[in-house]
Amino acid sequence: MRDLPGFDAFAADHVRPLARTALSLTGEPEAARALVVTALSAVAARWGTTCWSFPAQATHKALYWAYLERPRPGAAGGRGTHPSRTPGTDAAALAEALTALPPGRRALVVACFHDGHTTWQAAGLCRMDARTANTETVLAIAELRDRLPASFVAGTAPDTTAGTAPETGVGTASDTTGGTVPGTTAGTAPGSEPTRPSPSPWASPSGPAGPAPSSWGSPSEAGRAPEPAAAAPISFATPAAAAPGSFAAPAGRTPPYHAAPFSASPAIAPVSPAGGTGAGDHGDGPWEAALRRELAALSAGMPALDPVPLAAEAARAGRRHRTRRRAVVTAVSVTLGALVVVSLAFGVTSLAGRVERAVGDGTPGASGSPDVSAAIPGTLRAPLPAPVRFAYQGSCTDDDWDAFAEKFANGCDQWRLVTTTGEQWRVPDVALDPGGHWNPSLLAISQDGNRVAYYGETSPDFMVLDRRRARAERSGMFPLNEDVSPQDAHLVISPRGRWMAADFGAGARAPLPRVQSLTGYRVAVLPRRMRILAVGDDGTVTGTATWDTNTIPGRLATTVLLRVRPNGRTLSSAPIDPALFESGVAVSPDGRAVAVAAERAHPGDDDHGQVVTLDSATGRVLTRREAALPPDAHVTVVCGWASEHEVIVEARQPDDEDEEEYSVHAVDVRTGASRPIALDEAGGVPDLWVPGTLH
């Protein structure tokens, strides 16, 4: 990562502790991974400045903020717990009790009793004042005491060899309370794991010389003098060396960056701000010790994450944020320069009038200009005069945060529909997807741009919006009494909006895929679990199915490309390599071809990437062409079809500042010729978007 020096090493060092905190917040491994990617991408977007200060604290704060902005199902409301929790255990009881807490209170409990923060430190993480945080923490503990059984305190301590104590980059529970975590001994890392090679340390060329740690540390932290852990009111200090339960490295290993101890003897006495009582404000009784112990056991159930693809995914999302932010700054600068030419009073009056009309009266956003610098589009209130060209999720800044509502209250992060005439409209009911993937799986647009299907945020069902009626209707794919989590759902709609289909992941307990006619609204349940890629206007579903095998040498699982009718009859089945779909996949409007992005076996430095089409019935290669893109541009993902012979691709291209620009092109699968597709209404290529009638 030339433009993000040291980020991959930093991510490798902090993925594990971040993932354990994320699992404590969400209760679900997949949601925890998505939360970690979101936090790392936020830091990657500002890596040029963050890497010189306190990246670990910034990532930790971004993790909590991302959770509080959009808590996942299972984080509140009483949805299911982690499937690996054995019923009847203290960890299972705690996981169930945590799901009943509101997101803010759950975050406070995790911050104080898992990560070891004081009340005022947790208040900063949860975006509330210290007095409110203190009150909410007391209420959360009281609710947990009421929900947990009396035997909770008598539970046995977790085995230290299993890695049950919390690993965080900013401290442990014992750091602030002085309590002892049962089952740990001095000089033993509670979260010890099999030794793996540490990434090469990174440091600024101008940074002060000193001992090189075994893992990455920011230059400002590597060269600063030790400070007292609680000298500042809002401090995310690492633990003292003498604190019981702190992270001491095994013999012969250098402590990691996030475990580097501060001085055990502070120069001045800690000062507690109003609303907090200091390090021991959570109590050191048996119940508090049991809570810390079981939170550690709960977070230890987080499966190991491969830091390499996770860091790459976060870096890509961070670059996209940074590129878009730079485009917005440029647009704002041009706008301000133009305003200087005219009278200041006239400009302010005109701008205020447009903002009032756009927000108050629901008029569409200005076309042809970046949405962030213009007024936020109004909500859809009337039939759209033109088909939907594409949709994208809006972005927010710190100025958009409503501290009282504890969310982005102005609709800046809601989905927006862009018509072929350039008008923009918000759809506030679309469930947001914090996974950070290019293709949000909870929204789909028909290729003719007349129908939009999405998972409703306020209704546990898919909604169908016909742009000619301007009213979203519940599809009825799920009965009202059936609770379905959209976490692993993937939604598609046919080219003319006659059918839609959805799958819900490969989990053993996941519902079977369903296909629904949008003319008669009848629903059919498919007989096997599969990843749905597309549905045709005749209801034929194209997808992939995977199952275990012991008969194919070198493989433990086999994947096939399927075409299935709504009644469950299989039309075709062909073996396929699932790695072909890692860079996106798009099924042609007639359902006969599947387009993917690929590389040559021995790619050259000036390659742009290939666009390959496969026969959907046999899996055979139909066409394979090098994309004729601008110099240095490279295909990163396949997004859809622009016509019968053109595939929509997203491309990445480095700029003069050693960063990356993103663009969209239509590539002819017969010749490889390409043409650019502008998304000016979104201010460039958005982070999350889906094509509609994008010609």
Measured over the CA atoms of residue 447, residue 451, residue 455 and residue 460, the dihedral's sign is negative
Whether residue 443 sits in one domain with residue 519: yes
The predicted-structure confidence for 623-663, as pLDDT tens digits, reads as follows 999 999 999 899 999 999 999 999 999 999 876 665 678 99
**Which of 566, 582, 598 lies at the terminal end of a domain, its last residue?**
582
Nearest to 523, CA basis, from 462, 441, 573, 454: 462
Listing from the earlier edge strand, what are the strands of the sheet with 471-474? 443-445, 451-455, 462-466, 471-474
**Which of 582, 611, 630 lies at the terminal end of a domain, its last residue?**
582
Q: What is the DSSP string of 485-514?
A: --TT-EEEE-TTSSEEEEE--S-TTSPPPE
The predicted-structure confidence for 250-301, as pLDDT tens digits, reads as follows 444 444 333 333 333 333 333 333 334 343 456 668 888 888 888 998 888 8
481 in any annotated domain: yes
Nearest to 181, CA basis, from 93, 103, 277, 248: 248
- d(C-alpha 328, C-alpha 369), whole Å: 9
**Which of 532, 553, 582 lies at the terminal end of a domain, its last residue?**
582
Q: Residue 310: its pLDDT value, please?
A: 78
pLDDT at residue 371 is higher than 60: no
Q: Output the six-digit token pair for 313.
A: 């995914």
Arithmetic mean of pLDDT, 4-32: 87
Q: If residue 638 lies in a helix (H) or strand (E), which one and from where to where? A: strand 634-641
Q: Residue 359: its pLDDT value, please?
A: 38
CATH value at residue 666? 2.40.128
DSSP state of 368: T
12 in any annotated domain: no
Most confident option among 65-74, 126-135, 430-439 = 126-135
Whether residue 667 sits in one domain with residue 564: no
pLDDT at residue 518 is higher than 90: yes
Tell me which residue range forms the domain holding 615.
Answer: 583-695
Q: Residue 590: its pLDDT value, please?
A: 93
Arithmetic mean of pLDDT, 563-581: 94
Q: Residue 338: its pLDDT value, please?
A: 46
16 in any annotated domain: no
664 in any annotated domain: yes
Whether residue 577 sits in one domain with residue 591: no
Q: Residue 279: its pLDDT value, please?
A: 39
Identify whether the C-beta of residue 129 lies closer than 8 Å to the C-beta of residue 153: no
Whether residue 529 sits in one domain with residue 613: no
| Structure-token match 């009337």, residue found | 382
375 in any annotated domain: yes
Arithmetic mean of pLDDT, 440-448: 87
pLDDT at residue 594 is higher than 90: yes
171 in any annotated domain: no
> Taking the mean position of all CA atoms in its chain, how far away is CA 121?
24
Arithmetic mean of pLDDT, 523-549: 94
- d(C-alpha 258, C-alpha 621), whole Å: 50
The predicted-structure confidence for 62-109, as pLDDT tens digits, reads as follows 899 888 876 544 444 434 444 445 556 777 888 888 988 998 999 999
Q: With cut-offs at 50, 70 and 90, classify the pLDDT of residue 217.
A: low
Q: Residue 541: its pLDDT value, please?
A: 97
Torsion of CA 378, 382, 383, 389, to 10 degrees: 0
If you average pLDDT over every residue of the chain, what do you get? 73
Arithmetic mean of pLDDT, 187-205: 40
Whether residue 572 sits in one domain with residue 590: no
pLDDT at residue 353 is higher than 70: no
Whether residue 576 sits in one domain with residue 608: no
What percentage of the chain has pLDDT greater than the value 70? 64
Rg (CA), the chain: 26
Crossing angle (nearest 10°) for helices 103-113 and 130-147: 90
Arithmetic mean of pLDDT, 139-164: 68
What percentage of the chain has pLDDT greater than the value 90? 29
- d(C-alpha 299, C-alpha 91), whole Å: 10
Q: Residue 262: its pLDDT value, please?
A: 34
Whether residue 510 sits in one domain with residue 649: no
560 in any annotated domain: yes
The distance between the two most distant Cα atoms of the chain, rounded to a whole number of Å, is 78
The predicted-structure confidence for 451-493, as pLDDT tens digits, reads as follows 999 988 777 788 999 998 878 888 888 765 565 666 678 899 9
Q: With cut-offs at 50, 70 and 90, classify the pLDDT of residue 19.
A: very high
Whether residue 460 sits in one domain with residue 524: yes
Length of the chain: 695
| Burial status of residue 275 (CB atoms within 10 A of its CB: 0-12, 13-18, 19 or more) | middle
Q: With cut-offs at 50, 70 and 90, classify the pLDDT of residue 123.
A: confident
Identify whether the C-beta of residue 379 lies closer than 8 Å to the C-beta of residue 352: no
Q: Residue 208: its pLDDT value, please?
A: 40
Is this structure's pTM higher than 0.75? no
- d(C-alpha 501, C-alpha 490), whole Å: 8
pLDDT at residue 666 is higher than 60: yes
Whether residue 631 sits in one domain with residue 489: no
Whether residue 398 sits in one domain with residue 514: yes
Q: Output the six-digit token pair for 126.
A: 């949860």
How many distinct helices (H) and strands (E) make up the chain?
A: 13, 26
Arithmetic mean of pLDDT, 211-228: 45
77 in any annotated domain: no
Whether residue 630 sits in one domain with residue 659: yes
pLDDT at residue 447 is higher than 70: yes
Beta bridge partners of 450: none
Q: Residue 88: its pLDDT value, please?
A: 60
Listing from the earlier edge strand, what are the strands of the sheet with 499-503? 490-493, 499-503, 514-517, 523-525
- Based on the structure, what is the number of domains in the chain? 2
| Structure-token match 């350039």, residue found | 422
Whether residue 526 sits in one domain with residue 544: yes
Lowest mean pLDDT across 288-292, 315-319, 553-557: 315-319
Q: Residue 659: its pLDDT value, please?
A: 67
- d(C-alpha 684, C-alpha 695), whole Å: 17
Arithmetic mean of pLDDT, 585-607: 93
Lowest mean pLDDT across 43-47, 203-207, 339-343, 491-495: 203-207
